[in-house]
Structure 1
């Protein structure tokens, strides 16, 4: 826009000056040149204001972008995110052949539509989730059989959220939301599951330390073969990281 404005102004001014020089005296030409300059100054000022308004609109639009993610294993969000709701991790039972694959972050304040109490007819079922970390080490081992919380988090001025398996730091240009351990259902259980990034310092739900089964989360280990080792290591638990980008 800037280049076109300057070019058009120069061409028009040159053309009019050349045409008028042959028909008018020097005084009239100079007066017209001053009038023309005043006119083009107004156009230039308007174009500059237009460009500034466009830049402002673009910045405002970019600043309004937001992204949402679930922080598995925690009741709260990181300090740079807003808590949408804190809930209970739920999913299909680990032996159900018709299981839904992905876990859900169920709200603590559910609402209801049409319903009938009691199990009746052909339905699917949702259960709470438990950590299955008895074979892990350190703090994670103490979480075994505890129920799993979750938090839905909102980040402002972000447009992308991505979970990277096998990383505990974000790639260049990405911002850390949280890091943890990659978890999923046990390899020989009938129900399909989804690889899930559980926070590295998980919380537990009050009163949920007994083994009631349900949607089960086990650590994920690397198995060499078609998976290249190195860089991966046979039997080593995988980490994960959740990152955001503007």
Structure 2
């Protein structure tokens, strides 16, 4: 019974203290200020988060727009790439066809040889170097490469010109005086431009060398006009062509200073030559 009484007294005192606390204005005021500070803090954080969210939303929208632009550009580039790929394969097919048919090759004559060089060339025919008599005043100037299987005729009977074989007229080319000169007509199977460069033994950048050798022409003291041709560095002669009958003759070409710039040329020096394709 005594314990119960003590318990009741404790409860009554606690209720009384609670009432006192609830009725304390300072306590209530401090609690209100504390709540206000918490609310302000929450509102501040909410505002910051709202600003950050808005900023992130803007950036997201910008990124979305850029992504859409990139997607569009990617689609356009993919389309262009596919178009270019189709054109590339089409051109490749045409190029391979041209290589197979080999219809675009440039022609050149290899003087002093019965064959063609490498470098994607094919032999059209091998024959005899020829031209006009070295001392005829009405002679044609150019050298020609005569085929071994001519088609001849007898239908003319009026005035005429002559054609002769061409001979080495000096042993300096490695063959006896009177040895006949061969030639070969060659065609590049991949390159269409042909250039003979006098005074050079190598080609310029971008050009392919077919052969090189010595620049030759008719002697200056002979009446017949000639042209400059490029005699291969390693010339051959024709079988059974050792008899000295003259005909179309040629000699190495010397530089003569004066109107010719010296240097780079030097008086009395012989000129080389090279045949190039591209």
User: In which range does the TM-score fall when normalised by the shorter chain?
Assistant: 0.7 to 0.9
> Is the counterpart of residue 147 in structure 1 residue 180 in structure 2?
yes
Q: Match of 2:225?
A: 192
> Is the counterpart of residue 158 in structure 1 residue 191 in structure 2?
yes
> 1:62 touches 1:157 (CA, 8 Å); kept in 2?
no
Instruction: Please give the root-mean-square deviation of Cα atoms over the aligned residues, in Å.
Output: 2.6
CA drift of 1:79 comes to 2.1
The runs of 5 or more residues in structure 2 that have no matched partner are 1-70, 99-103
Q: Which structure: greater helix fraction?
A: 2
Q: Match of 1:171?
A: 204
Q: Match of 2:146?
A: 106
Q: Which has the larger radius of gyration?
A: 2
Separation in 1, partners of 2:175, 2:162: 28
**Following superposition of structure 1 onto structure 2, how do residues 7-156 of structure 1 map, counting pairs within 5 Å?**
48-61=81-94, 64=98, 65-80=104-119, 81-112=121-152, 115-116=153-154, 120-134=157-171, 136=172, 140-156=173-189
Secondary structure of the residue aligned to 2:124 is: strand
> 2:130 touches 2:164 (CA, 8 Å); kept in 1?
yes
> 2:118 touches 2:210 (CA, 8 Å); kept in 1?
no
Q: Match of 2:234?
A: 201
* Higher RCO (CA 8 Å, separation ≥ 6 residues): 1
> 1:86 touches 1:107 (CA, 8 Å); kept in 2?
yes
CA drift of 1:48 comes to 4.7
CA drift of 1:53 comes to 3.5
CA drift of 1:121 comes to 2.1
CA drift of 1:142 comes to 3.1
Task: Normalising by structure 1, report the TM-score.
Answer: 0.73
CA drift of 1:51 comes to 2.9
Q: Structure 1 residues 126, 61: closer, same or farther in 2, change over 3 A?
A: farther
Secondary structure of the residue aligned to 2:175 is: helix
Deviations 1:167-224 (A, max 9, x none): 1111111111000000001102111101000001100001112210111111111111
> Is the counterpart of residue 243 in structure 1 residue 276 in structure 2?
yes
Which one is further off, 52-61 or 212-221? 52-61
> 1:184 touches 1:195 (CA, 8 Å); kept in 2?
yes
